[in-house]
Amino acid sequence: MFAVRGLGFLNFLLQLKRYLLKLKSRKFPIIPGSIISLFIFMAVFGEILSPYPATKVSLPEKFLPPFFLTKGSMDHPLGTDMLGRDILSQIMAGARPSLIVAVAVLAFGGLGGTALGIMSGYYGGKLDVILMRAADSTIAFPIILAAMLLAIILGPSIQNVIIAISLIIWARFARVIRGEVMSVKERDFVALARVAGASGTQIMFRHIFPNVAHTMVVMLTLQAGYTIIVEATLSFLGAGIPPPTPVWGGLISRGREYIRIAWWIPFFPGMALALIVLSFNMLGDWLREIIDPKLRQV
Amino acid sequence: MNFLEVNDLKTYFFTRWGTVKAVDGVSFSLKEGETLGLVGESGCGKSVTCLSILRLVPQPAGRIVGGQILVQGEDLLKKSEEEMRKIRGAKICMILQDPTTSLNPVLTIGNQLMESIKIHLGLKGQKLRERAVKMLEMLRVPSPEVCLENWPHQLSGGMRQRVVSAIALSCQPLLLIADEPTTSLDATIQIQFLRHLRELQWQTGLTLIFITHDFGIVARMCDKVAVMYAGKIVEMADVRDIFNRPLHPYTEALMKAVPKLEEKVERLVNIEGEPPRPYALPQGCTFTPRCASKKERCQPDQYPPVIETKNGHWVRCWKYV
Amino acid sequence: MASLLEINGLKKYYPIIKGILFKTAGWVKAVDGVSFSIEEGETFALVGESGCGKTTTAKAILLLEKSTAGSILFCGQEISTLKGEELRKYRFSVQVVFQDPFSSLNPRMRVGLIVAEPLMVNSDLPKRLIEERVEEVLAQVGIDHHAVGLYPHEFSGGQRQRIALARSLIVRPRLIILDEPVSALDVSIRAQIMNLLKDLQLKLGFAYLLIAHNLATVRYISHRLGVMYLGKIVELGPMEQVYAKQFHQYTKALFSAALPSHPDLIKDEIVLKGEVPSALAPPSGCRFHPRCFSAMDICSEVEPELGEVAPGHHVACHLYGD
């Protein structure tokens, strides 16, 4: 019937399942959803399924246009780049690093920021002041500059990109979640839990977190798109994931100088990027819409 | 002629879960200067009735689907929005339960008070200010001149309610509708407010409708009482008749369920069950599931008709058919 | 024999912090020297208007706030120094039901869990025993046992209040604090809950500390009452005695302000002048003197102490002092 221990998390999962079932009925945005599913699918299986290895150089095949132009063919549906590498394969392979960065950043920065926000909001006092000042300074600092600095100091690598973006993203989560926590903790059931003798940790897990989780989920979706863009920007500027890993930002950057003779080199990766980010944002908006009014009923 | 006459008013809300018949055939009348108490629990339709009089029913879900609202002989339901705007604030005013949300926190009291006077009475400059001060004085606001410069958050709850009333009364309306105006006030502040309102009423001949669930307010302030349940008026009478001889089982039960300070009882009488959910009301008398006097005569598919006894005391109950 | 709960000279001041350096600019004296006691099985009501300190007093008893001064003795033991096992026992002994049924239950938790929580946090009882107790208390408050798997939003206000009550009963407390338990409920539901509270007290024998502003409700279930004004108790005594004759001017005004239960019972009410002053700068001497019709010179200089004017009936007023 109900678990005696570990209630907070189990409760949350049960709640999540209920939500997901209800989600299905509520005008789920199919196109963004499909695009994101495709993205995830490509990230996992892209390397296996791509027609060519993404890094396979083939100089005689360089600058081939996409299939719908003359001299193009279905051998290379989206054309090839300056070294004869297949664009489509590079796009497919590029999905993985983007997804890895996004998931890692959301896990550390997003969940970490949420945890800090909960503690900050619940305990208040000096902890709150310190954390919020830290958050404010992080938000005030220009993110690209910060990430570039970190890349220069620590050297470009996928880990450093994750660290850099997480350090910047945590503050947004912390601030928003803290705001929610401040109103949740005033509700009587929190006082009742204290009267029952529950410890601060128990209260934060069992009472506070489940009541701010919905906000966190929406933020995760919306920040996913943002994270992907930042990562792409860093790669574009050369401070992101270093070659030979194919990343969309890098593709766009390399293709810049050829835009007049082979526009498809930067164009298709750019399109992919735009579509993914747009899809995440639309999904996030939809989530926010269905979660908020539901709350008013609940 | 009656000052206010509501005939068979029907206001429905059309939602995706069904149609809510918030007000389903409500009729009553008021003479000038009278105070009506519209009594009932949450969801009975008393607030929506008054919003309908002002034609402020939230749209698009809500709509007045039938009936007449005659104010001094003119049907408000036939008026254009432009004409209604002239009536609201000038002829008919409303004050709500929470004075805090009724006031704009970023404007001074004077600003808000004078805005209303300016729109409806067209006064300017010194005359405008004088009138604002006079309104605050009428509601016994101490140091009215100073109060004009204050912001809402600087005032206590009781003071805010007086300011809100001053704004409502500043244009000398003929009818004031008060929706649970004292629920958020302390007891001693409540009594100050009610007494001042009564005084004002005697001075100006104001007609008053009090929406409340508190029979104490009804006893203190009202001349006539209409008891509502699930969108209909189930009993209406002069205040003394209602207290001395409540006819409808709901009215009776409600009065027995309320503790009285003046008499100590061993036990309050429960009303079984809960107020009905608004979406699927039965055709017959909606109080039947909770009624202590229900019998076979309570037909399940027809709502009891209006039965009038003496002195304008009428009731809708199969007991009296 | 020691009273169940004994409060002596309780004070709770809230500091007003200004500036970056967290300097204390002043104090809000929410509770300023309150003393009363509650015996086993009785209902003691704390009555007063907003800002008088009754809720703060309740919070101090519940250890939700740390008192600034004074003592709170439960069965003779000072509660502010309790730790470990003793503290747990206290948690079992004193519970609370709040005013707002919509805020008292965690919307993300099932009812079964909500009711079981106090027991789970404080004891190692096996799961089955806990489940049994949950069913037991739900039955006591008249909620069907199927509720354990449901969420709060599926219940009405009155039902939620019963669930909150069940939660407080599960630890078999000896004192339950009721903070305006029926104010947020519909009129017809109030009687149900009031009767339930009365019945449970007769059956299970615990005491209530009732915080309420409606004197009719207070008279219905209370044995004794204390009237608070601006952080102090101004009158204290058995319910019927205080109802029959009030001594303090404020108490008189409060009872006079109670609305009549019949149009023929309309009286000429005592209307106090002015408003409740701020707790930041309470008036000197007797806090009530600026609004009192019988104020004398001494009232603005010396604070009156609670003195007995009749058996068990105390008033803090110079009119009756020595």
DSSP result, A47-94 = HHHSSS-TT---GGGTTPPPTTSTT--TTSTT-B-TT--BHHHHHHHH
Sign of the alpha-carbon dihedral angle for C60, C232, C5, C96 = negative
Residues of B in contact with C257 (CB under 8 A): 187-188, 190-191
Q: Which of A195, A207, A297 sits opposite C95 (nearest CB)?
A: A195
Is the residue at A8 inside a domain?
Answer: no
Q: Report the length, in residues, of chain C.
A: 322
Shortest distance, CA C240 to any CA of chain B (angstroms): 9
Q: How many CA atoms lie within 13 A of A184 on its CB side?
A: 29
Question: Strand C232-238 relative to strand C307-310: parallel, antiparallel, unpaired?
Answer: unpaired
By CB atoms closer than 10 A (0-12, 13-18, 19+), residue B223 is middle
- Please determine, for residue A2, whether its predicted confidence score (pLDDT) is greater than 50: no
Is the residue at A15 inside a domain?
Answer: no
- Please determine, for residue A266, whether its predicted confidence score (pLDDT) is greater than 80: yes
pLDDT score for A19: 67
Q: Do C188 and B214 touch (CB under 8 A)?
A: no
In which element (H, E) is residue A31 found?
helix A30-49
Sign of the alpha-carbon dihedral angle for B150, B151, B153, B156 = positive
- pTM of the predicted model as reported, rounded to 2 decimal places: 0.86
Within 91-130 of B, beta carbons closer than 8 Å to C belong to none
pLDDT band at A5 (very low <50, low <70, confident <90, very high): very low
3-class SS at A21? Answer: helix
Cα–Cα nearest to A98, from A36, A33, A174: A36
Q: Which two tokens stand for residue B295?
A: 């019998």
Cα–Cα nearest to B316, from B229, B248, B226: B248
- Closest residue in C to B184 (Cα) is C50
Q: Which of B214, B216, B274 sits opposite C189 (nearest CB)?
A: B274
Residues of B in contact with C213 (CB under 8 A): 186-187
Rounded to whole angstroms, the Cα distance separating A257 from A246 reads 18
Cα–Cα nearest to C48, from C66, C37, C62, C34: C34
Q: Which two tokens stand for residue C252?
A: 């008189």
Q: What phi and psi values does residue B249 have, to the nearest 5 degrees?
A: -55, -30
B42 touches chain C (CB under 8 A): yes
Q: Do C156 and B254 touch (CB under 8 A)?
A: no
pLDDT above 70: percentage of residues in chain B: 100
In which element (H, E) is residue C298 found?
none
* Under 8 Å between Cβ of C216 and B259: yes
B188 touches chain C (CB under 8 A): yes
In which element (H, E) is residue B275 found?
none
pLDDT, tens digit, 9 for 90 and up, residues C123-181: 878 889 999 999 999 999 999 989 999 999 999 889 999 999 999 999 999 999 999 99
Residues with Cβ within 8 Å of residue C251, at least 6 apart in sequence: C227, C234, C235, C242
Q: Which two tokens stand for residue C180?
A: 């305006």
Residues of C in contact with A198 (CB under 8 A): 117, 121
Cα–Cα nearest to C305, from C281, C321, C282: C321
- Closest residue in A to C95 (Cα) is A195
Rounded to whole angstroms, the Cα distance separating A121 from A111 reads 15
Rounded to whole angstroms, the Cα distance separating B70 from B77 reads 8
Q: At what angle do helices C111-122 and C127-141 cross, to 10 degrees?
A: 120
Rounded to whole angstroms, the Cα distance separating B156 from C181 reads 24
Q: Which of A189, A191, A210 sits opposite C105 (nearest CB)?
A: A189
Is the residue at A241 inside a domain?
Answer: yes
Q: Do C164 and A187 touch (CB under 8 A)?
A: no
Q: What is the mean pLDDT of each run of 10 residues along chain C (322 residues)?
A: 88 82 78 93 93 92 92 92 88 93 92 92 86 94 92 91 95 94 88 93 94 92 95 95 94 93 89 81 89 89 90 91 62
Shortest distance, CA C123 to any CA of chain B (angstroms): 36
Task: Give DSSP secondary structure letters for B100-168.
Answer: HHHS-TTS-HHHHHHHHHHHHH---HHHHHHHHHHHHHHTT-SSHHHHHH--GGGS-HHHHHHHHHHHH
pLDDT score for A6: 53
Q: Do C259 and B220 touch (CB under 8 A)?
A: yes
ipTM: 0.87
What secondary structure letter does DSSP report for B58? -
Residues of C in contact with A210 (CB under 8 A): 106, 108-109
Q: Do C194 and B187 touch (CB under 8 A)?
A: no
Cα–Cα nearest to B317, from B263, B249, B255: B249
CATH superfamily of B4-81+216-312: P-loop containing nucleotide triphosphate hydrolases (3.40.50.300)
Q: What is the mean pLDDT of chain B?
A: 88
Which residues pair with residue C140 across a beta bridge?
Answer: none
Q: Which two tokens stand for residue B309?
A: 């006894």
A-C C-beta contacts closer than 8 Å = 81
Residue B15's identity, in one-letter code, is T
Expressed in angstroms, the distance from the first to the final Cα of chain C is 30
Within 81-140 of C, beta carbons closer than 8 Å to A belong to 87-88, 91, 94-96, 98-100, 103-110, 112-114, 116-118, 120-122, 127, 130-131
Q: Which two tokens stand for residue C223?
A: 């044995």
Q: Alpha helix locations (H) across chain C?
A: 54-61, 84-93, 111-122, 127-141, 157-169, 187-204, 215-221, 239-244, 249-257
Q: Which of B42, B215, B261 sits opposite C215 (nearest CB)?
A: B261
pLDDT, tens digit, 9 for 90 and up, residues B6-55: 999 999 999 887 888 999 999 999 999 999 999 998 888 899 999 999 99
Q: Which two tokens stand for residue C154?
A: 């599926």
Q: Do C216 and B258 touch (CB under 8 A)?
A: yes
Total domain count for chain A?
1
Is the residue at A256 inside a domain?
Answer: yes
In which element (H, E) is residue C107 found?
none
- Please determine, for residue B124, whether its predicted confidence score (pLDDT) is greater than 90: no
Rounded to whole angstroms, the Cα distance separating C197 from C204 reads 10
Output B297 or A191, whichever has higher pLDDT: A191
Q: How many CA atoms lie within 13 A of C8 on its CB side?
A: 10
Residues of A in contact with C121 (CB under 8 A): 193, 196-198, 202
C202 touches chain B (CB under 8 A): no
pLDDT above 90: percentage of residues in chain A: 27
E strands, chain A, in order? none
Give the number of other Cβ atoms within 10 Å of residue B128's Cβ.
Answer: 18
Residues of C in contact with B252 (CB under 8 A): none
- Closest residue in A to C156 (Cα) is A298
* Under 8 Å between Cβ of A188 and C100: yes
Residues with Cβ within 8 Å of residue C167, at least 6 apart in sequence: A192, C95, C114, C115, C117, C118, C137
Instruction: Find out whether the peptide bond into A244 is cis, omega within 30 degrees of 0.
Output: yes
- Please determine, for residue A3, whether its predicted confidence score (pLDDT) is greater than 60: no
Is the residue at A264 inside a domain?
Answer: yes
pLDDT score for B265: 85
C186 touches chain B (CB under 8 A): yes
* Under 8 Å between Cβ of A210 and C108: yes
Q: Do A210 and C87 touch (CB under 8 A)?
A: no
Rounded to whole angstroms, the Cα distance separating A164 from A146 reads 7
CB burial of A192-230 (b: ≥16 within 10 Å; e: otherwise) equals: bbbbbbbeeebbbbbbbbbbbbbbbbbbbbbbbbbbbbb
Q: Do A4 and C127 touch (CB under 8 A)?
A: yes
Q: Could you tell me which residues of chain A have a Cβ less than 8 Å from any Cβ in chain C? A: 1-2, 4, 7, 11-12, 15, 187-189, 191-198, 202, 206-207, 210-211, 297-298
Shortest distance, CA C141 to any CA of chain B (angstroms): 14
Shortest distance, CA C51 to any CA of chain A (angstroms): 18
Residues with Cβ within 8 Å of residue A286, at least 6 apart in sequence: A27, A28, A29, A32
Shortest distance, CA B30 to any CA of chain C (angstroms): 19
- Please determine, for residue A70, whether its predicted confidence score (pLDDT) is greater than 70: yes
Long-range contacts, stretch B299-305, CB < 8 angstroms, 24+ apart: B303/B232
* Under 8 Å between Cβ of B267 and C195: yes
Q: Which of A199-213, B85-99, C200-214 has the lowest mean pLDDT?
A: B85-99
pLDDT score for A8: 65
Sign of the alpha-carbon dihedral angle for A19, A22, A26, A28 = positive
Rounded to whole angstroms, the Cα distance separating C279 from B177 reads 35
B90 touches chain C (CB under 8 A): no
Shortest distance, CA B243 to any CA of chain C (angstroms): 6
Q: Which of C216, C254, C271 sits opposite B259 (nearest CB)?
A: C216
Shortest distance, CA B256 to any CA of chain C (angstroms): 9
Q: Which two tokens stand for residue B213?
A: 């669930």
- Please determine, for residue A164, whether its predicted confidence score (pLDDT) is greater than 50: yes
Cα torsion through B292, B295, B301, B305, rounded to 10: -80
Residue A77 domain boundaries? 30-297
Rounded to whole angstroms, the Cα distance separating A43 from A35 reads 12
A150: CATH: 1.10.3720.10
Identify the residue among A13, A188, A215 best suited for mutation to test binding to C, counting C beta carbons within 10 A and taking the highest.
Answer: A188
- Closest residue in C to A129 (Cα) is C20
Report the neighbours of C using a cutoff of 3 or more CB pairs below 8 angstroms. Answer: A, B
